[in-house]
Structure 1
């Protein structure tokens, strides 16, 4: 008997079976397709690449954190000083401004304001509570309470107007000068400036109280020391501002020459 060809006997030959590795790969792909994207895929889509904008929720969360950071103990003390200013003026001028009892209450309000001034800046720097609000409100609160006390004392005739003009003129002038030269750098607070603030607070506090006798004479000398420190430290700040401005201009000119060369 002649042999029959395999193709004729069985028709077309069946396809070769797939390897085990290929079958496993197809099964894994089918499983991924059925289950959807993995956690890694979701994380990759959630993270912006390059200049892509962050999700809207991230901006809102960051804004909420920044807003909450304003309400810290240092800023609360600064706000307390601002609130004390109108209260101090009302107490100072109550009953004509010469009643010893009302003047004592006014002194208490002034003392609280000056004490909080010593602590809020220290707390902000120590515990990293520095905020844009604090940078602006703190010097305003300092000058507001001191200015209110000096103007009240001069309007009542207890303190010569020239003393008030010298102290307030120096404070406002130095503050303005700081803003002018801030493009070149920051003028740090000196020890003399801190001593000036302390002596000013003591002197003004002694004038707020209705003192008589040798204490009234002593407060005159303390105020004289405060005025001297005010003028001397003011001139020193002017010197620092001039040096800082010259150094800043020199650095800019050197940078421009290096760029051109």
Structure 2
């Protein structure tokens, strides 16, 4: 007997919450104008809470068998919406060069599209490098959002540099794994068609 997983479950609800937090984060960031420390702190805290929901929804889905097609699609979209909104906000307020935002967003959107391209053949699990990349991106973005004293502001570019290297490196690894999965899936389809 095949178990049917309801679309409305706690894991998917948390993913939806992350999507709802994106505009809240943007409003707080815009209200800060990057000169009002209280709003910057609020934006940073909303960003961190939303980022933590990514770990929580994945954990709950795997632990309780709540994996759904909606979750497979909505989860990466929510992740990219949050990261993308934060990077664009930082670039709009001249905290981060636009080329950094462009490179990271190109990788993130490209990988998400590739996931959809091969989803019928399987899901490629996040690698250890991908998890490190995510942590570095969250840490770097949060560092730029928080109103640090002038002496600590210089840490941000180092964190973002590490995140950028991890982003590009894991993106290349993901492309290789996607191509391998697609070839394997196409081969299996051809063998089924010949049988």
TM-score by shorter chain over 0.5:
yes
**1:93, 1:105 → 2: CA distance?**
11
How large is the Cα RMSD of the aligned pairs?
1.9
Alignment match, 2:25: 88
Unaligned runs of 5+ in 1: 1-64
**1:139, 1:236 → 2: CA distance?**
18
**2:40, 2:187 → 1: CA distance?**
53
Aligned: 1:72 with 2:1: no
Pick from 208, 224, 243 the counterpart of residue 161 of structure 2. Answer: 224
Post-superposition CA distance 1:184-236 (Å, at most 9, x none): 43322111111111110011000111223342111211110000000000000
| Larger-Rg structure | 1
**1:179, 1:205 → 2: CA distance?**
29
| Mapping of residues 1-261 of structure 1, within 5 Å | 69-256=6-193, 259=195
**1:253, 1:132 → 2: CA distance?**
25
Q: Which has the higher contact order (CA 8 A, sep 6+)?
A: 2
Q: Judging changes above 3 Å, is the alpha-carbon distance between structure 1 residues 186 and 129 closer, same or farther for their aligned structure 2 residues?
A: closer
**2:89, 2:44 → 1: CA distance?**
12
**1:84, 1:185 → 2: CA distance?**
29
SS where residue 99 of structure 2 aligns? Answer: helix
SS where residue 171 of structure 1 aligns? Answer: helix
By how many angstroms is 1:117 displaced?
1.1
Q: Judging changes above 3 Å, is the alpha-carbon distance between structure 1 residues 182 and 81 closer, same or farther for their aligned structure 2 residues?
A: closer
Alignment match, 1:15: none
**1:230, 1:159 → 2: CA distance?**
16
**1:139, 1:167 → 2: CA distance?**
14
Unaligned runs of 5+ in 2: none
Post-superposition CA distance 1:143-181 (Å, at most 9, x none): 111111110000000000011111111011011112222
SS where residue 97 of structure 1 aligns? Answer: coil
TM-score (norm 2): 0.89
**1:226, 1:239 → 2: CA distance?**
20
Q: How many residues align?
A: 192
SS where residue 158 of structure 1 aligns? Answer: coil
By how many angstroms is 1:70 displaced?
3.3
By how many angstroms is 1:95 displaced?
4.9
Q: Judging changes above 3 Å, is the alpha-carbon distance between structure 1 residues 216 and 243 closer, same or farther for their aligned structure 2 residues?
A: same
By how many angstroms is 1:183 displaced?
3.8
SS where residue 26 of structure 2 aligns? Answer: helix
